Amino acid sequence: MRYESLAIEGPRLVFPKTYRDHRGYFFEAFKQGWFRENIADVSFVQDNQSLSHQVGTIRGLHYQAPPFGQGKLIRCLRGSIFDVAVDIRPDSSTFGKWVSANLTAAGGEQLWIPEGFAHGFCTLEPDTEVFYKVTNVYSQTHDKGVAFDDPVISINWPIPLNSAVLSDKDRLQPPLSSLR
Ligand SMILES: Cc1cn([C@H]2C[C@H](O)[C@@H](COP(=O)(O)OP(=O)(O)O[C@H]3O[C@H](C)C(=O)[C@H](O)[C@H]3O)O2)c(=O)[nH]c1=O
């Protein structure tokens, strides 16, 4: 297993060591000791999974407010996504800046997003399934969001914004400016 840093301090792209043979493949998807030593000294308390039927489904940008902030370790079980993390730490020199990575079931790539970032993704294939570990439990009252199409953030989503498949909630998320 290895990792790469991204343009913003914090998020990391993790690559499993994949063993392939005539039957298929095997890889260790997560190892607590390696993760603590190389990525972040955190514990995961909840696993989430979602299925999105249509290409161009955008979920996000979401985060949980303190004290229910969540770190997230995201990967694709089926299909692929354009995954995005937006720095929303009020005192950060990269506030409002974003990083992205394409996560694919075929490649097994994982994106680590620490607390202090909003997370969102756009599906790139039909029936894409996303699995992610989180470092805090769900709290509906602390579940917050930022507009995926905020021009101040200006994410280069891989689809025309007016074609995005969205939840009613994500059509109405507030702008980044509401966080300051
Ligand atoms: C996140 C979550 C949701 N729910 C319930 C609440 C709703 O009744 C239902 C669907 O939730 P939502 O529409 O917020 O699901 P997504 O749009 O996939 O949101 C997620 O997608 C983005 C990309 C994220 O990073 C967040 O983890 C999460 O917000 O599941 C739960 O019961 N537990 C949970 O941990």
Nearest Cα to Cα of residue 114 among 72, 86, 79: 72
Q: Model confidence over 53-84: pLDDT tens digits?
A: 999 999 999 999 999 999 999 999 999 999 99
What confidence score (pLDDT) does residue 180 get? 79
Measured from the CB, is residue 92 less than 6 Å from ligand 1? Answer: no
Does residue 146 contact residue 87 with C-beta atoms inside 8 Å? no
Q: Nearest C-alpha to atom 13 of ligand 1 is from which residue?
A: 167
3-class DSSP assignment, residue 162: helix
Q: Give the catalytic positions in this structure.
A: 62, 132
pTM: 0.97
What confidence score (pLDDT) does residue 133 get? 98
Measure 93 CA to ligand 1 centroid, in angstroms: 29
User: H-type helices in 11-159, by residue range?
Assistant: 32-38
> Which atom of ligand 1 lies closest to the CA of 46?
35
Indicate the top mutation candidate among 44, 61, 138 to test ligand 1's pocket, ranked by most ligand atoms within 8 A of CB: 138
Measured from the CB, is residue 145 less than 6 Å from ligand 1? Answer: no
CATH 2.60.120.10 is the classification of domain 2-173: yes
Q: Nearest C-alpha to atom 16 of ligand 1 is from which residue?
A: 59
Q: Nearest C-alpha to atom 15 of ligand 1 is from which residue?
A: 59
Q: Model confidence over 105-147: pLDDT tens digits?
A: 999 999 999 999 999 999 999 999 999 999 999 999 999 999 9
Contacts of 52 (CB under 8 A, 6+ apart): 59, 123, 127, 128, 129, 130, 165
Measure 58 CA to ligand 1 centroid, in angstroms: 12
Q: Nearest C-alpha to atom 28 of ligand 1 is from which residue?
A: 62
What confidence score (pLDDT) does residue 103 get? 98
> Which atom of ligand 1 lies closest to the CA of 50?
18
Domains of the chain by residue range: 2-173
Percentage of the residues of the chain whose pLDDT score is greater than 70: 100
Q: Cα separations (Å) of 124 from 7, 131, 171?
A: 23, 15, 20
Interface confidence, given as ipTM, is 0.97
Q: Cα separations (Å) of 121 from 131, 133, 165?
A: 12, 15, 11
Measured from the CB, is residue 60 less than 6 Å from ligand 1? Answer: yes
Measure 25 CA to ligand 1 centroid, in angstroms: 30
